[in-house]
Structure 1
Amino acid sequence: MTDHYEDSDEHRQRVLKNHQVLGFIAGFWLRQPWLLIGTVGLTLVAIGFDLALPWAAGRLVNAVAAGPAHPDPAWRAWAVFVGVYLAFSVIRNLAMRFLIPMSANNMKAMTDEAFRRVQAFSSDWHADTFAGATVRRLSRAMWGYDTVTDAALIWFGPAGVVLLGLCVMMLLRWPVVGLFALCVVVLYVVSNIVLTSLYARPANLRSVALDSRIGGALADSISSNSTVKAFGAEAREDVRIAGVTEMWRKATIRTWSRFTDLWLLHSLVLVGLQAGLSGLLVWEWTKGRANAGDIAFAVTSFMLMTSYLRNIGDNIRMAQRGLDDSEDVARYATTPPQVLDAPAAGGFRADLGEVVFDHVTFRYKSAERPLYDGFSLTIAPGERVALVGPTGSGKSTFVKLIQRLYDVEGGRILIDGQDIAQVTQGSLRRAIAVVPQDPALFHRSLAENIAYARPDATRDEVELAARRARAHDFIARLPNGYATLVGERGVKLSGGERQRVAIARAFLADAPILVLDEATSSLDVETERQVQAAMEELMVGRTTVVIAHRLSTIRGADRILVFDNGRIVEEGRHTDLVNQGGAYARLHAVTEGWA
């Protein structure tokens, strides 16, 4: 699985640059320009009042220094001092009123679009990727956006304006003091950015990858809990999860330690700023170039600069974590789906269900040679065709290609005369009803699971489909009937019950093409008879493709195709093929105990 190797060289090569991830996030800001303008504009106004605070403090100290004989100037200076901070606080709060809806809207949009993107990825991609790890990435990216947005719009921009403004004010009054402050500010910010990127980020990327791996490992074990219990393997799974979390623990300690190292280094820089700024102002005072108000200005400026610099340092580190958390989803946005709709693809027009493979060539990505090489076949409308043959002979691939879960390398596949590569995937797949060997149900009600084939179906239509699938009786016996929740993947139902729900879905879909993929292979004899009776009714009037190892399920097929290494080596009806004494007859001899 891909997620076992998230810390590999291959993964590191796929890591996006910080500016690429930031550009991805900024794209969401620009979708709501008025909220962005309101946030930034009000923040800049608030910054103006913040910059005025040291000046107001200096005026207040000078007014007080004049003595109590002149109280009015002091009270006016006090009112200005309080008013400046009050204005800053109110306007800053108003800016947040614009930021909150912008962030909430964009976090929703990011998650929705990432989920849509992941759903568009191919079956191979999903087979190679832990579902739990993907879920972790999607949810983590949403909060990564929030962290980066707060840092960029609320802290970095305002802090830069305040720090530069204070340095300029000092440069104009005391050039040496201003130059010193400017150098320390530049040193602090640049070293934070460089060291965070080069020293802390590599460790953080590894701990983020291992965080995703924890999600994948937990989901893998929890979703297979019945298997774990069947083998009494709880202790073994405990050890396996503990191994994954132990790797995460070590990586995270390293990450946090590196961020703490940077925090200590930059705290020492702030001590230097405090000592240098206050010392230089005292020196200016000794030379008669600074008064008590100037000292108050310098002290207030230092406190303001220290506050912003600390916030810059913290937010650079937090923003780096947010960028790393969002990196996977940003990469998804630049990864094209492996199977794409054609630019001018139209909807598939379902008709009689004729299927034509026209000189099709297909190779799996990991295979050296094509499985199908110039493969041709025609299935007539309404024909029942059974596919048999050893594992890996091409039976399941045939069905996947009909659904266009993969693209062919050569040739084309036509259904009702339409090239399936030229129609939308969704419309094509809605015309093909699939009843798999192990139906996966959603942890939703039975009614919702049946109606998944056609969400606008009425309750009567859902119940009719269940009756035709021989599912109504067992559903009616449940305490909550059709409202019964079936558990994750339908674990609360037996295999036969899940199969009948899947058949009810197919009835409701009313698609012209039906695929039965080993639909009775895991059922007991009595349940198999019920399911077969339902399937017989379902096949009436539809083009049907049956994949089966139990030959008892395909005796009535119009045509049996025997596959071997992507080729059809025999075809005909059951009796004729048995009498030929070829591959099918040998398979029949081996399996006749089941038939």
Structure 2
Amino acid sequence: MRYWLRRPGLLGGMTVFTLLAIAADMTIPLAAGRLVDAVAEGPQAAKIAWGAWAVFVGLYVVLSVVRNIANKFWNPLAALNMRDLTDEGFARVQSFSADWHADAFAGATVRRLSRAMWGYDLVSDAIVMWIGPALLVLVGLSAMMVVRWPMVGLFSLTIVALYIASNVILTAKYGRPLNQRSVALDSRIGGALADSITGNPTVRSFGAEDRESARIGEITETWRGAVVRTWNRFTDLWLVQNLLLAVLQGGLTGLLLVLWSQGKATPGDVAFGITAFLVMSGYLRNIGENVRMLQKGLDDVEDVARFAEMEPQVADSPGARPFAGELGQVVFENATFRYKSAGEPLFRNFSLTVRPGERVALVGPTGSGKSTFVKLIQRLYDLDEGRVLIDGQDIAHVQQGSLRQAIAVVPQDPALFHRTIADNVAYARPGATAEEIALAARRARAHEFIMKLPLGYQTLVGERGVKLSGGERQRVAIARAFLADAPILVFDEATSSLDVETERQVQAAMEELMVGRTTIVIAHRLSTIRGADRILVFDSGRIIEEGRHADLVRQGGAYARLHAVTEGTV
């Protein structure tokens, strides 16, 4: 209803013309009765018969034209609302936390969003175009019969009520449980397909194509069994409905024949009853089919409706201001943070200041808190206690989008979009000119390899950038960071998987990019951080050592041991 009421003009036009179509449909049985009565009077009533014929045919023409006009209002309304539902559902999903996305299958989420769009269409068409008009016609025709033949009308109303009630109850109680299972399995198919297809390089590297096909086959076989049971249940409902239609047909025409045999009904009245049954049976069948479609549509929309009711786990506070800062000072004040799946906090009363323009390196074992430190700066999670300040602003009270635009991140494995290289570089600043994109690529040592590609900057990089090598992806990501021109820069293991020659090129680009920016580097290869202003050694969410490379090596502590292992490996 909220979506329908967004565009009252289209909704009002559709409603008016639909009511006119309903009125024409309800009048057709009366016109049929008048025609039969005129014919029954013999040739002397030819003029009256032809007039009745003209009304009878004219009503069909009016019904068709008016219903067509109603659809011209309904079609754009439905398309606009389907667009809004998809856009808003996608925006809602994007607002959910990193934890939520980590727990959800991307393919299943995509399937839910696309299925909800068509589920909305099924629900809306079922209610507005079929069930609503059908109820008006059925009640209207039955009321006309009650006025003229009370017994016939009451019989009609009883069967109609029984038909609708049995349809709704049996669909909800008998058909829906299995339909919900079929819908869940459909989402599972989407998630499993996306998981296997995106992991295709791994599948091929292990020669596991047959294994993956068998795994998908098991899931689709489970779906097949569930959906056949669902369809069989709805087939049973169809039989019940048709038996009730047979009762309506036999009772309606039989009662009118009794009245005719008693001289209380004319042949036209019998024709009215037959025509009314044909109209009513058509609408009742539509109700039966559309109640099923309505239930299916509601099941399809249910996930996205639940998304709309979920509050984002990390939300902008009321009155949040855009982030405004260019210095890049980062301050943790007594920060305590615990992952939802962890028993104990990772950070407890953690305090640290990173000065503007400082180059800080984070080292330590896996799980020590390095990546979490960066995620908290980006406000991908909220603290349990304490504050994070950037340029004196509590990041819990600024808009998340503007905050993240001030932090350029170059990850270990940059995930590029399946778009052109130009689009991927310009993602940091969509309005960038071709010259600005090329300058950023030159500074990132990427321009040369880009120009060797057949389409240059217009080359599509493939899903997640698979058409490019690791070093090429890194340089595109660095070009994107150059274009972002953010005051805070984060390198997350940016050279850990590169060969020596490519690492030199990437390292040179990184050095240029770091000039004048607050830089945080997460590194396992200590050779990349010798020039850092300060090295922070993390262990279980605490900083156990800090200082410059040479000083930490001389201290003979955790960093020195890590350095010795690294040098020994080399």
TM-score category, normalised to shorter length? over 0.9
Q: Distance in 2 between matches of 1:166 and 1:361?
A: 70
Q: Pick from 325, 349, 357: which aligns with 1:374?
A: 349
2:15 is aligned with 1:40: yes
Q: Distance in 1 between matches of 2:246 and 2:471?
A: 73
Could you report, residue by residue, the CA deviation over 1:347-379 in whole angstroms, capped at 9, with x for unpaired residues?
111221000000000000111111001000000
Q: Pick from 98, 106, 129: which aligns with 1:123?
A: 98
Q: Distance in 1 between matches of 2:102 and 2:471?
A: 26
Q: Indicate the percent of aligned positions where both proteins have the same amino acid.
A: 70
Which residue is equivalent to 1:262? 237
Which residue is equivalent to 1:249? 224
Q: Distance in 1 between matches of 2:499 and 2:218?
A: 40
Q: Pick from 443, 449, 455: which aligns with 2:424?
A: 449
Which residue is equivalent to 1:102? 77
Which residue is equivalent to 1:23? none
Which residue is equivalent to 2:454? 479
Which residue is equivalent to 2:501? 526
Q: Pick from 44, 51, 54: which aligns with 2:26?
A: 51
Post-superposition offset of 1:558: 0.7
SS at match of 1:488: coil
Q: Pick from 550, 565, 569: which aligns with 1:575?
A: 550
Post-superposition offset of 1:593: 4.0
Which residue is equivalent to 1:355? 330
Q: Distance in 2 between matches of 1:70 and 1:172?
A: 28
2:182 is aligned with 1:203: no
Could you report, residue by residue, the CA deviation over 1:460-480 in whole angstroms, capped at 9, with x for unpaired residues?
111111111110110011111
Q: Distance in 2 between matches of 1:278 and 1:592?
A: 97
Could you report, residue by residue, the CA deviation over 1:29-73 in whole angstroms, capped at 9, with x for unpaired residues?
010111111111111111111111110000000000111123101
Post-superposition offset of 1:254: 1.2
Which residue is equivalent to 2:6? 31
Post-superposition offset of 1:525: 1.0
**More divergent stretch after superposition (494-503 vs 455-464):** 455-464
Q: Pick from 231, 239, 242: which aligns with 2:206?
A: 231
**More divergent stretch after superposition (425-434 vs 193-202):** 193-202
- CA RMSD of superposed structures (Å): 0.8
Q: Tell me the number of residue pairs that the alignment of Structure 1 and Structure 2 aligns.
A: 570
2:510 is aligned with 1:564: no
Matches within 5 A, 1:58-207: 58-207=33-182
Q: Give the aligned residue type for 2:57.
A: V
Which residue is equivalent to 1:336? 311
Contact kept, 8 Å, 1:53 with 1:81, in 2: the verdict is yes
Contact kept, 8 Å, 1:550 with 1:594, in 2: the verdict is no
Q: Give the aligned residue type for 2:307.
A: Y
Could you report, residue by residue, the CA deviation over 1:168-210 in whole angstroms, capped at 9, with x for unpaired residues?
1111111111111110000000111111111111111111111
Which residue is equivalent to 1:586? 561
Q: Give the aligned residue type for 1:289.
A: K
Contact kept, 8 Å, 1:437 with 1:520, in 2: the verdict is yes
2:358 is aligned with 1:383: yes
Matches within 5 A, 1:456-495: 456-495=431-470
Contact kept, 8 Å, 1:347 with 1:423, in 2: the verdict is yes
Q: Distance in 2 between matches of 1:476 and 1:211?
A: 44
SS at match of 2:44: coil
SS at match of 1:69: helix
Which residue is equivalent to 2:340? 365
Could you report, residue by residue, the CA deviation over 1:512-547 in whole angstroms, capped at 9, with x for unpaired residues?
100000001111111111111111111111100000
Which residue is equivalent to 2:191? 216
2:259 is aligned with 1:284: yes
Q: Give the aligned residue type for 1:352.
A: L
Contact kept, 8 Å, 1:40 with 1:95, in 2: the verdict is yes
Which structure 2 segments of 5+ residues have no match? Answer: none
Q: Give the aligned residue type for 2:211.
A: R
Q: Distance in 1 between matches of 2:333 and 2:235?
A: 64
The runs of 4+ residues in structure 1 deviating greater than 6 Å are: none
Q: Pick from 412, 419, 425: which aligns with 2:394?
A: 419
Q: Distance in 1 between matches of 2:173 and 2:343?
A: 41
Post-superposition offset of 1:594: 5.4
Contact kept, 8 Å, 1:132 with 1:215, in 2: the verdict is yes
SS at match of 2:464: helix
SS at match of 2:382: coil
Could you report, residue by residue, the CA deviation over 1:223-255 in whole angstroms, capped at 9, with x for unpaired residues?
111111111110010011111111111111111
Matches within 5 A, 1:5-16: none
Q: Give the aligned residue type for 1:472.
A: H
SS at match of 1:203: helix
